[in-house]
Amino acid sequence: MHPKLQTLLFGLGVFVVFTTFAVVLRQLTSITVENLEYFGLLSKRDIFLGLIVALVVTFNHERRKNSKR
């Protein structure tokens, strides 16, 4: 698999795990947020935080992968 595609899929996986975790925690704690804009489950803040987390984790993963070579 192409290395850039592998990195993109890794970042997408991190984003999906983060957003799933955020939705599950919101459902378990019964916190109601009025501005759930995406599918009635996610807010813009959740999307923004998910993107930041995915970028940081993917960057660290790539850096660690390259330092082992």
Rounded mean pLDDT of 3-23?
89
More confident residue, 25 or 56: 56
Rounded mean pLDDT of 18-40?
80
Q: Do 66 and 42 form a contact (C-beta atoms < 8 A)?
A: no
Rounded mean pLDDT of 38-64?
87
Say which range, 27-31, 47-51, 54-58, 63-67, has the weakest mean pLDDT: 27-31
Taking Cα atoms as reference points, which of 9, 18, 7, 13 lies closest to residue 64?
7
